[in-house]
């Protein structure tokens, strides 16, 4: 199935056009101008441009991409590696899939620019295993690049600029999207996150200096290099420049992807999806994929950029906007969320392995009308004990949505305990 965004910007402008995936059409639409400009500069200049563009990583944490590129060690003759993270397993997130299917050459051009900037000679694109079509699209695009001598040795005729690109099918676990879990999986091991330090820039894929970026992050780079920092900063906010592909799902009339500037008010983003289905009232919105705390209708005008969302106790994450209408039972939401995290914990850390299971059991008990006030206390204590205590941020991602639901929808939990049943007969089925 082809998904084409309802609103387009520079990234998705040509996504309706099948040919955009071929090298000739991509070049005809301005493709590889960014790389050409990058290769005319010293690598350090490219890094500086990326830093001042302020492109924030689109994989969830929002770290400045140019800054990350600058961490790659310069005083080493060991091979350097780039990893492009296409694992995209966060429930509510589906933007990277679209970019891989409709704009694979944007990603590859971004990878080539980054390779020149950081001196990498090998790049791995790690793609969620279930994403068969994205894998096919990227493999076809990489093949075309080799044929056109746009990767391999002396790329674009630049002597000594050698880069090999490998497409790797992922291992089918959410935790393989966490960058060090991904690196382990790439090496053929169990996808269990590593303790940090050392960070990937020092000890990454196969022990080599490595930079990991998200699919969408790489896809923005060619436009920055080609059109310039001021142009890029013309979109979005000062702290979060550029556009992003908001993926709107749930109780809306027209779920889909919408490319809009960062900082677009939440009301407008949901408006592009046709608003809440059937004219019902809005009850809650998860703004950035399932691991982000929920917002309430009071937050409907918040600009969708991390600096504004963090003031409201949540984050932009991956821009996956999940809309819930007034029929929604928030305890059922807590059951779904906690079931996912219980299932996906890699099990290395006690707080995460045990905490996610406890939370799920407590939520299910409350939903079934068997909860007590002691369960409410546990639902406050257990997530607090998981946060910031573990090898990776998965435990935080498991704790935050529950904390958000308890903060804003405590009444829903209390009503289940008081009435010994779920008071939302019209809510979705578990
Ligand atoms: C549990 C967990 C899952 C993650 N899954 C993904 C993912 O599927 N894709 C992704 O790009 N980043 C994911 N991340 C973030 C990566 O660890 C990493 O920060 C990101 O790939 C860096 O790219 P960026 O700086 O371009 O955003 C995940 C993080 C955690 C803690
Ligand atoms: S926090 Fe959870 S997912 Fe991350 S390493 Fe520990 S057990 Fe594994």
123 Cα: distance to centroid of ligand 2 (angstroms): 26
- The verdict on the CB of residue 178 being under 6 Å from ligand 1 is yes
Give residues with Cβ within 8 angstroms of 302, minimum separation 6: 265, 266, 287, 295, 308, 309, 312
Predicted pLDDT at 4: 64
Residue 3 has what pLDDT?
A: 61
Cα 98 to ligand 2 centre (Å)? 29
CA 48 to chain centre: 24
User: Which among 325, 344, 372 is the end of a domain?
Assistant: 325
Q: Note whether 85 and 212 are same-domain residues.
A: yes
Location of structure tokens 């929002």: 62
93 and 155 both lie in a single domain: yes
Is 346's C-beta closer than 6 angstroms to any atom of ligand 2?
A: yes
pLDDT tens for each residue of 145-159: 999 999 999 999 999
The β-bridge partners of 303 are 265
Among all ligands shown, which has an atom nearest to the Cα of 342? 2
pTM assigned to the model: 0.97
Name the residue among 305, 215, 294, 314 with its Cα closest to residue 250.
294
For residues 68 and 180, membership in a common domain is answered with: yes
How much is the pLDDT for 400? 97
Phi and psi at 353, nearest 5°, equal -60, -50
Structural domain contains residue 426 = no
**Residue 399 is part of a domain; what is its CATH number?**
1.20.1440.230
Please name which of 332, 239, 251, 260 lies closest in space to residue 297, comparing C-alpha atoms. 251
Q: How many domains does the chain have?
A: 3
Degrees to nearest 5, angle at CA 231 with 230 and 236:
95
pLDDT tens digits, residue range 212-254? 999 999 999 999 999 999 999 999 999 999 999 999 999 999 9
Q: Do both 179 and 124 map to the same domain? A: yes
| CA 393 / ligand 2 centre spacing (Å) | 7
Q: Are 322 and 249 in contact (CB under 8 A)?
A: yes
- Do 312 and 298 contact (CB within 8 A), yes or no? no
DSSP class of residue 428 equals P
Ligand number, closest to the Cα atom of 346: 2
For residue 177, the CA-to-ligand 1 centroid distance in Å is: 5
Using the 3D structure, point to which of 325, 347, 378 is the last residue of a domain: 325
pLDDT at 86: 98
Query: Is 88 touching ligand 1 by the criterion CB < 6 Å?
Result: yes
Q: Tokens standing for 144?
A: 């075309």
Is the domain of 150 the same as that of 261?
A: no
Is residue 71 domain-shared with residue 115, that is, in the same domain? yes
Residue 415: domain span: 330-419
Residue found by looking up tokens 């690049």 in the block:
145
**Residue 50's domain is classified under what CATH number?**
3.40.50.11540
What is the C-alpha to C-alpha distance for residues 149 and 154, in angstroms, rounded to an integer? 8
Q: Which atom of ligand 1 is nearest to the CA of 216?
A: 26
Instruction: Tell me which residue has its CA closest to atom 8 in ligand 2.
Output: 346
Q: Are residues 78 and 213 in the same domain?
A: yes
pLDDT tens sequence for the chain (430 residues): 456 677 789 999 999 999 999 999 999 999 999 999 999 999 999 999 999 999 999 999 999 999 999 999 999 999 999 999 999 999 999 999 999 999 999 999 999 999 999 999 999 999 999 999 999 999 999 999 999 999 999 999 999 999 999 999 998 899 999 999 999 999 999 999 999 999 999 999 999 999 999 999 999 999 999 999 999 999 999 999 999 999 999 999 999 999 999 999 999 999 999 999 999 999 999 999 999 999 999 999 999 999 999 999 999 999 999 999 999 999 999 999 999 999 999 999 999 999 999 999 999 999 999 999 999 999 999 999 999 999 999 999 999 999 999 999 999 999 999 999 999 999 999 9
Buried b (16+ CB within 10 A) or exposed e, 10-28: bbbebbeeeebbbbeebee
Do 203 and 57 fall into the same domain? yes
- Considering the domain architecture, whether residues 166 and 99 belong to the same structural domain is answered as yes
176 lines ligand 2 (CB under 6 A): no
Look at residue 72 in the predicted model and tell me its pLDDT.
98
Pick from 258, 293, 325: which residue ends a domain?
A: 325
Q: Do 270 and 406 sit in the same domain of this protein?
A: no
CA distance 237 to 220: 16
């Amino acid at each position: 199935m082809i998904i084409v965004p309802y609103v387009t910007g520079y990234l998705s402008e040509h996504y309706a056009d099948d040919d955009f995936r071929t090298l000739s059409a991509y070049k005809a639409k301005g493709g590889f101008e960014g790389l050409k400009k990058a290769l005319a500069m010293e690598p350090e200049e490219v890094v500086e441009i990326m830093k001042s563009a302020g492109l924030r990583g689109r994989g969830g944490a929002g770290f400045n991409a140019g800054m990350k590129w600058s961490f790659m060690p310069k005083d080493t003759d060991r091979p350097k590696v780039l990893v492009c993270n296409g694992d995209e397993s966060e429930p509510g997130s589906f933007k990277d899939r679209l970019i891989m299917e409709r704009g694979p050459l944007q990603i590859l051009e971004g990878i080539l620019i980054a390779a020149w900037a950081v001196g990498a000679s090998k790049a791995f694109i790690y793609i969620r295993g279930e994403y068969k079509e994205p894998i096919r699209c990227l493999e076809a695009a990489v093949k075309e690049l080799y044929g056109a001598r746009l990767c391999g040795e002396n790329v674009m005729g630049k002597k000594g600029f050698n880069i090999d690109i490998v497409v790797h099918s992922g291992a089918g676990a959410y935790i393989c999207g966490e960058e060090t879990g991904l690196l382990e999986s790439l090496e053929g091991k169990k996808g269990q996150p590593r303790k940090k330090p050392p960070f990937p820039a020092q000890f990454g894929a196969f022990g080599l200096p490595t930079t990991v970026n998200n699919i969408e992050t790489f896809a923005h780079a060619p436009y920055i290099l080609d059109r310039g920092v001021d142009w890029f900063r013309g979109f979005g906010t000062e702290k979060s420049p550029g556009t992003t592909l908001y993926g709107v799902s749930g109780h809306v009339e027209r779920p889909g992807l919408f490319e809009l500037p960062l900082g677009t008010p939440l009301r407008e983003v949901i408006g592009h999806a046709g608003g809440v289905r059937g004219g019902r009232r809005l009850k809650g919105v998860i703004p950035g994929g399932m691991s982000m705390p929920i917002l309430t209708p009071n937050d409907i005008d918040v600009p969708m950029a991390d600096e504004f969302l963090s003031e409201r106790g949540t984050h932009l994450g991956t821009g996956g906007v999940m809309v819930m209408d007034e029929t929604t039972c928030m305890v059922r939401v807590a059951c779904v969320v906690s079931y996912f995290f219980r299932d996906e914990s890699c099990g290395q850390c006690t707080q995460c392995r045990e905490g996610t299971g406890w939370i799920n059991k407590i939520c299910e008990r409350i939903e079934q009308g068997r909860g007590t006030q002691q369960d409410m206390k546990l639902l406050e204590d257990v997530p607090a004990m998981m946060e910031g205590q573990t090898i990776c941020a998965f435990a935080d991602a498991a704790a935050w949505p529950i904390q958000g639901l308890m903060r804003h929808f405590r009444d829903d939990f209390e009503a289940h305990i008081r009435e010994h049943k779920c008071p939302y007969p019209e809510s979705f089925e578990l």
